[in-house]
């Protein structure tokens, strides 16, 4: 794939926003195409005058950059703190190589934080009932809300529940169970994908520039 035809995937969050700022200084940035997972990163990319393409224009991504909310010792991840988990999973599925940027605070021996679950609004009440029937015990299931108490809606028009489980010891099995619930669009557990490179960020949240 020639540099001019390369498509670079960009996840979401402040780490990716910082990366976009550095990409904006590259001399060859105009020869690259970028596909983004969120409006947040799209706005940052537009400020840097990057060449953005729509998601349906790309069936192949040369390399994808993203962050993580938490990683375990086997590099399974929880993502979706910003609400872009569905689009991020789509990018993961078509990326040749994935680079995860995360500082030391994101690493844990076992996953132990809440799992974002994107749900169609029509399934709001039925999801709460069905999630309780999973083999892994649910300790809390809360609708994500904005500061003024309004529900948080994803860019796909769906709501998000942040679900705490008693155990996340089998993340691959659990994510499949969650996705089997009618009305669930996607869950924020990312079993370790292939072709992944992990970069630990420095304490000041900076990182070494990666050549594109």
Asked if residue 56 has pLDDT above 80, the reply is no
Asked if residue 60 has pLDDT above 90, the reply is no
> Given CA atoms 112, 116, 94, 185 in this order, what sign does their dihedral have?
positive
pLDDT tier at 193 (50, 70, 90 boundaries)?
A: confident
Is residue 88 part of the annotated active site? The answer reads: yes
pLDDT tier at 210 (50, 70, 90 boundaries)?
A: low
Asked if residue 57 has pLDDT above 90, the reply is no
Q: What residue ranges do the domains of the chain occupy?
A: 3-108+192-200, 115-189
Q: What is the pLDDT of residue 98?
A: 94
pLDDT tens digits along 143-184: 999 988 899 999 999 999 999 999 998 999 999 999 999 999
Catalytic residue among 44, 88, 118, 186: 88
Give the fold, CATH level 3, of 115-189: Alpha-Beta Plaits (3.30.70)
Asked if residue 206 has pLDDT above 60, the reply is no
How far, in Å, are 16, 66, 70, 124, 156 from residue 207 at the CA level?
A: 11, 13, 18, 40, 31
Mean pLDDT (the chain, rounded): 90
Asked if residue 43 has pLDDT above 50, the reply is yes
The average pLDDT across 56-84 equals: 90
Q: What is the pLDDT of residue 3?
A: 54
How far, in Å, are 100, 107, 131, 211 from residue 103 at the CA level?
A: 10, 8, 31, 20
The average pLDDT across 70-83 equals: 94
Is pLDDT larger for residue 127 or for residue 208? 127
Give the fold, CATH level 3, of 3-108+192-200: Rossmann fold (3.40.50)
Asked if residue 1 has pLDDT above 50, the reply is no
> Given CA atoms 37, 11, 93, 128 in this order, what sign does their dihedral have?
negative
d(CA 110, CA 45): 34
pLDDT tens digits along 80-124: 999 999 999 999 999 999 999 988 899 999 999 999 999 999 999
């Amino acid at each position: 794939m020639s540099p001019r035809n390369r498509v670079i995937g960009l996840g979401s969050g402040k780490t990716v926003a910082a990366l976009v700022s550095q990409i904006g200084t590259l001399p060859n940035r105009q020869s690259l195409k970028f596909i983004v997972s969120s409006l947040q990163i799209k706005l940052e990319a537009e400020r840097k005058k990057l060449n953005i393409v729509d998601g349906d224009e790309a069936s192949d991504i040369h390399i994808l950059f993203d962050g993580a909310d938490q990683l375990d010792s086997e590099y399974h991840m929880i993502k979706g703190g910003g609400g872009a988990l569905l689009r991020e999973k789509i990018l993961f599925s078509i990326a040749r190589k994935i680079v995860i940027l995360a500082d030391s605070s994101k690493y844990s021996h076992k996953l132990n934080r809440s799992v974002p679950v994107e749900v169609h609004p029509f399934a709001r009440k039925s999801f709460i009932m069905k999630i309780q029937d999973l083999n892994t015990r649910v300790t809390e299931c809360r609708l994500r809300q904005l500061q003024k108490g309004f529900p948080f809606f994803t860019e796909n028009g769906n709501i998000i529940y942040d679900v705490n489980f008693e155990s996340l010891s089998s993340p691959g099995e659990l994510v499949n169970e969650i996705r089997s619930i009618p009305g669930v669009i996607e869950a924020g557990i990312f079993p370790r994908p292939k072709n992944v490179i992990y970069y630990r960020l420095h304490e000041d949240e900076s990182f070494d520039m990666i050549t594109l």
